[in-house]
Chains A and B, each alone.
Chain A
Amino acid sequence: MSTKRIIKFEKDDCNPCNMVSEYLDRKGVVYETINPFNQPELAMQFRVRSVPTVILMEQEQELQRVIGFKPEELSALLAS
């Protein structure tokens, strides 16, 4: 059983955010979403600077992150 999880920082009315979601949904990936404007403390904790930001976590360790809609990087993140 994998202990990895994916967190996606996003906001409403943000096209690249929607594109990332579509991509992840198509791949059948499960992920949590956080709106940094509603939970800025979490954004600070993860040092998120813009949306969309997708972070791959294992326990409390960050393995990888993808900022913006970048299919190749996302695919690499999902493969790891």
Chain B
Amino acid sequence: MVTKKWILLNNEIMVKNDDEFSLHKDKEAVRSYFLDYVNKNTVFFYTLKEKIDYLIEQEYYIDFYQWYTFEQMQEVYDMVYAKKFRFQSFMSAFKFFQSYALRDDSGEKFLERYEDRVVAVSLFLARGDVKQALEYAEMLINQEYQPATPTFLNSGKKRSGELVSCFLDEIGDNLNGIGYAIDSAMKLSSIGGGVSFNLSKIRARGESIKDVEGRAGGVLPIMKILEDTFSYANQLGQRPGAGAVYLNVFHTDIEEFLDCKKINVDEKVRIKSLSIGVVVPDKFMELAEKDEACYLFHPHTVLKQYGKYLDEMDMDEMYEELVTNPAVKKKKVNARHLMVKIAQTQKESGYPYLFFKGNANRGHALKDIGNVKFSNLCTEIMQISDVSDIEIYGTEDKIRYGISCNLGSLNIATVMDNKRIKEAVKTAMRSLTIVSDITNIAMVPSVQKANKELHSVGLGAMNLHGFLAKNFIMYESKEALDFCNVFFMMVNFYSLQSSMEIARERKETFVGFESSEYANGNYFAQYIAKDIVPVNDKIAALFEGVEIPTAADWAQLMADVKEHGIFHAYRLAIAPNQSTSYIMNATASVMPVVDVIEVREYGDSTTYYPMPYLDNDNYFFYKSAYDMDQKNVLRLISVIQKHVDQGISTILHTNTKDTTRDIAKYYIYAHKMGLKSLYYTRTRKAGIDECVSCSV
């Protein structure tokens, strides 16, 4: 087989001249990819009118004429095409055409270029408001903001899935509750959502059913059913379903819950594709740090004694009580051993995720309304939830809050370069709000209720490391902390302001606003006390010409919020964003890069992806996450976390020589620094072949 020309050009990146990589070859690869492949395989239309009409008539697009005249659409197309967008790397172009561009029904010809996708998304989300469509389109073509994959992929298409990425729900401790969860899992999975469940309320293996001891099967059988459900209800076979389950660390099933991820475990209990996470209350961290015994509790005996779920108790308050109450069945383990077991499981499988419940609820703006009890597939969603009471036919269910969240990410480098933080955040918030408005997951009423009443969204960010390297700032440096502190304070400010403006326009706040920390002003305390400004000259220079909200601006915002309320119960969450960051030519999320030049195998060819903005001068600013002191990474995330109401997907990068004790130390550090969760732990296998920066 002949290797394609663009692949050969891309591979020439690695040819060294004078000890420098031939990075410019990647641009030639993009050019060839277009000339020799994309253009030849794109359906050609003589006029824009012909194209739009064809796409609508052939049922590729929805009927945009219901909202716009042809001239209005043309105005948006013209603005976007006039920007002369060019992909900055081969990998960006490749990812877009491979996964996002609309194809004809045969799957062979492209019907869209990047510009066309941007316009379709903008027209769809603006719903007839041309001015708004132009704003969306400008932000998207500037690559200042990227909606999450479901929104970017599906918007404007006649035959498509949902726009929302993320759903969560509690499972009640009875057959109706479990049945409802399985039913929800199937339906949400089939429309393309990642779904996460909290299993912590389920009675443990060996507990009583109808007061007959020893009959309950525990959480594992439910996990098995959920795993099969997700793999059955995939999205027309295009994408496998994805699910996660969380369990409280004080639940007596916790050890088998962890064991299910082991590779050498019995096939009957092994869980392969379902992701797992552990809910970790502060009390457990305290016991582990003091190296004390730790009691695990049978949740059903707790419920019978106190009329309250173990998972909903404040363990700082209740732990001793549960230990001393003889009616509560328990099991004694060593806290530190259990923590090492968690680390060991992570080392072997990357799982479990950790959800630090205390941190997630400290400063939680809806704390008088409810608690954050668990998280999602990527550990960045943190919202209130409450278990529904599902009844038999003929009796009305009591539906409470599930969680629904749609996501998107700012591109830090482009919003900084264009000095458009305010505009991008506000426009992004509008577009996320529209997605929430038009989402109606009627088949899962708890999720529908949450979306209808709370309107939660999750605005995140990507390209942090790329932006820092481009400006010759080290990711682990004090300057990086300074930058993040100011930048994310601004994102917080403008997202709140935007939420207030939307509430003012619509005369509607999220349900429960009056009881929130936004309404009583507590939320604003850290901001009105003193100005947040860059302390470092280099960082101050980056913000030159940008207006940074002052303490007085925050005080004004506090007053506006008190008067008008805010529309969204939750606004910010930083997702890991994998594929969308490639298209944006951005480093993923706020995490450090893993390689300076990423090597990717696609079928029979190898492609190289130099990190965004890499040149031969700034090469060493792209230090690998695996070479960093993880405490420096956690410290940076903790600074960002102060300004983010939900969570941040944080990956630990470890080396084979790191012991489980080292990993456990990172847990303790992350918890101390106020992180709300830890996502995967990845381990680099030692090998010399992988060293791109080494000369042999």
Contact = CB atoms under 8 A, between A and B. Distances in A.
A14 B623 contact: no
B693 A50 contact: yes
A49 interface: yes
B693 A40 contact: no
A38 B477 CA distance: 10
Contacts of B20: 49
Contacts of A11: 627, 693-694
Interface in B615-643: 616-621, 623-624, 627
14 contacts: A11-B693, A11-B694, A13-B655, A15-B694, A36-B619, A37-B620, A38-B623, A43-B620, A44-B472, A44-B617, A49-B19, A49-B21, A49-B619, A52-B695
Contact of B627 (A12, A40, A43, A67): A12
Nearest to B20: A49
A15 B688 contact: yes
B695 A53 contact: yes
A51 B623 CA distance: 13
A40 B695 contact: no
Interface in B656-696: 686, 688, 691, 693-696
Given A12-B627, A13-B686, A49-B20, A68 B619 contact: no
A14 B621 contact: no
A37 B474 CA distance: 9
A64 B534 CA distance: 42
Contact of B695 (A12, A43, A51): A51
Interface string B462-483: 0000000000101000000000
Interface string A9-27: 0011111110000000000
Nearest to B694: A14
Closest 8 pairs between A and B when the two form their complex, measured CB to CB: A68-B695, A40-B620, A37-B623, A36-B620, A49-B19, A50-B695, A43-B620, A15-B688
A73 to B, nearest CB: 12
- Measured as residues with beta carbon below 8 angstroms from the partner, the interface class of chain B is 20 to 34
B688 A37 contact: no
Interface in B598-624: 616-621, 623-624
A13 B19 contact: no
A13 B616 CA distance: 22
Contacts of B472: 40-41, 44
A49 B616 contact: yes
B14 to A, nearest CB: 12
Interface of B: 16, 19-21, 472, 474, 616-621, 623-624, 627, 655, 686, 688, 691, 693-696
- Measured as residues with beta carbon below 8 angstroms from the partner, the interface class of chain A is 20 to 34
A17 B621 CA distance: 19
A37 B475 CA distance: 11
Nearest to A39: B620
Given A15-B691, A50-B695, 12 more contacts: A11-B694, A13-B686, A14-B688, A36-B619, A40-B474, A40-B619, A40-B620, A44-B472, A44-B618, A49-B619, A51-B693, A68-B695
B470 to A, nearest CB: 13
Contacts of B21: 49
B618 A50 contact: no
Contacts of A52: 694-695
A36 B695 CA distance: 14
Contacts of B627: 11-12, 37
A13 B674 CA distance: 32
Contacts of B621: 40
Contacts of A16: 694-696
A5 B620 CA distance: 23
Contacts of B693: 11, 14, 50-51
B119 to A, nearest CB: 40
Nearest to B474: A40
Contacts of A44: 472, 617-618, 620
A25 to B, nearest CB: 19
A13 B688 CA distance: 8
B626 to A, nearest CB: 9
Contact of A69 (B616, B618, B623, B696): B696
Contacts of A14: 688, 691, 693-694
Nearest to A15: B688
Contacts of B474: 40
A17 B617 contact: no
A16 B16 CA distance: 17
Contacts of B16: 49-50
A24 to B, nearest CB: 16
A51 B695 CA distance: 6
Contacts of A50: 16, 19, 693-695
A48 B691 CA distance: 16
Contacts of A67: 19, 695
Nearest to B690: A13
Interface centre among A11, A12, A13 (most CB of B within 10 A): A13
Nearest to B473: A40
A17 B24 CA distance: 28
A11 B688 CA distance: 12
A26 to B, nearest CB: 20
Nearest to A13: B686
A68 B19 CA distance: 10
Interface centre among B474, B618, B695 (most CB of A within 10 A): B695
B691 A13 contact: yes
A37 B624 CA distance: 9
Nearest to B617: A44
Interface string A34-74: 00111011011000111111000000000000011100000
A69 B691 CA distance: 14
Contacts of A12: 627
Contacts of A43: 619-620
A69 to B, nearest CB: 7
Contacts of A69: 695-696
Contacts of A15: 688, 691, 694
A48 B627 CA distance: 19
A8 to B, nearest CB: 12
